[in-house]
């Protein structure tokens, strides 16, 4: 028991440092990664594969970091106690928020969060980020989700899906420039300033301040584009 706790702690440290591969001693992973499931229960197996290749899998998280349960036992029943509760639709923001406080705290100020609490229908973190397969934002999927409520029949801001599509595509392009700039720019002071702009943009998005986001995303994309061009020059001169 104690050893497992220590291992879990080591796992958390690993997560913080972000270097070592998934922790050993996590019985959830040990069992779920068994290739026999590929035949016995393919859906379950693909859940594992999605997780393994996700940003969280790579960072060394364990299943129980989101699902709870008992990661120290090889007994399936004992391990599985309440594993679906933390991922219930209206509980997701709090579960993710344990590690992503900033996004959580802005998201809970939105109208959507109120709706989510009242009747469990509004978009939550998983709507946009995916759950196990978390990687990048799938724009079309997100857009379709918005259109579920924001459409002509409901009359509730039917222009939202197209506006979201516009912004998300720009953000996806910007993320490419951003990682290039952060890696190669000689002027890291400017890169830091751009990062602050990016963080503000993402925070505004998480509270669904769409009008401001539309304005900001255009300006910031331009700035990143210029910074990327400069960084390419810097690289060539090295």
- 97 vs 197, beta carbon nearer ligand HEC: 97
Q: How far is the CB of 118 from ligand HEC (least distance, A)?
A: 10
What's the CA gap between 143 and 153, in Å, rounded?
Answer: 16
- 23 vs 79, beta carbon nearer ligand HEC: 79
Q: How far is the CB of 146 from ligand HEC (least distance, A)?
A: 3
- 158 vs 230, beta carbon nearer ligand HEC: 158
Exposure letters 137-160 (e unless 16+ CB within 10 A, then b): eebeebbeebbebbeeeeeeeeeb
Q: How far is the CB of 180 from ligand HEC (least distance, A)?
A: 15
Which stretches of 53-138 are DSSP H helices? 55-59, 64-67, 76-79, 92-97, 101-107, 111-119, 125-129
Q: Are 50 and 135 in contact (CB under 8 A)?
A: no
Residue 187 backbone zone (phi > 0: left; psi -120 to 50: alpha; other: beta)? beta
Q: How far is the CB of 237 from ligand HEC (least distance, A)?
A: 30
Q: Say which DSSP state 154 is in.
A: T
- 218 vs 235, beta carbon nearer ligand HEC: 218
- 135 vs 234, beta carbon nearer ligand HEC: 135
Q: How far is the CB of 230 from ligand HEC (least distance, A)?
A: 22
- 22 vs 231, beta carbon nearer ligand HEC: 22
Q: How far is the CB of 166 from ligand HEC (least distance, A)?
A: 11
Exposure letters 13-31 (e unless 16+ CB within 10 A, then b): ebbeeeeeebbebbbbbeb
What's the CA gap between 1 and 60, in Å, rounded?
Answer: 20
- Which helix (H) or strand (E) segment holds residue 141: the answer is helix 139-149
């Amino acid at each position: 028991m104690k050893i497992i706790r220590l291992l879990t702690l080591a796992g958390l440290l690993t997560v913080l440092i972000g270097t070592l591969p998934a922790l050993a001693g996590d019985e959830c992973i040990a069992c779920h990664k068994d290739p026999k499931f590929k035949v016995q229960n393919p859906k379950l197996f693909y859940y594992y594969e999605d997780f393994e290749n996700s940003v969280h899998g790579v960072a060394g998280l364990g299943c129980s970091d989101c699902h709870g349960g008992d990661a120290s036992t090889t007994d399936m029943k004992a391990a599985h106690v309440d594993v679906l509760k933390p991922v219930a639709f209206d509980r997701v923001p709090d579960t993710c928020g344990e590690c992503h406080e900033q996004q959580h705290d802005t998201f809970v100020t939105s109208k959507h969060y109120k709706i989510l609490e009242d009747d469990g229908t509004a978009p939550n973190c998983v709507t946009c980020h995916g759950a196990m397969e978390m990687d990048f934002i799938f724009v079309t999927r997100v857009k379709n989700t918005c259109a579920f409520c924001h459409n002509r029949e409901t009359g509730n801001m039917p222009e939202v899906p197209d506006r979201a599509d516009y912004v998300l595509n720009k953000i996806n392009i910007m993320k490419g420039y951003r990682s290039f700039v952060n890696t190669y720019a000689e002027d890291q002071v400017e890169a830091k300033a751009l990062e602050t702009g990016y963080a503000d943009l993402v925070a505004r998005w998480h509270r669904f301040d769409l009008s401001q986001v539309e304005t900001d995303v255009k300006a910031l994309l331009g700035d990143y584009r210029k910074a990327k061009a400069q960084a390419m020059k810097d690289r060539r001169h090295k």
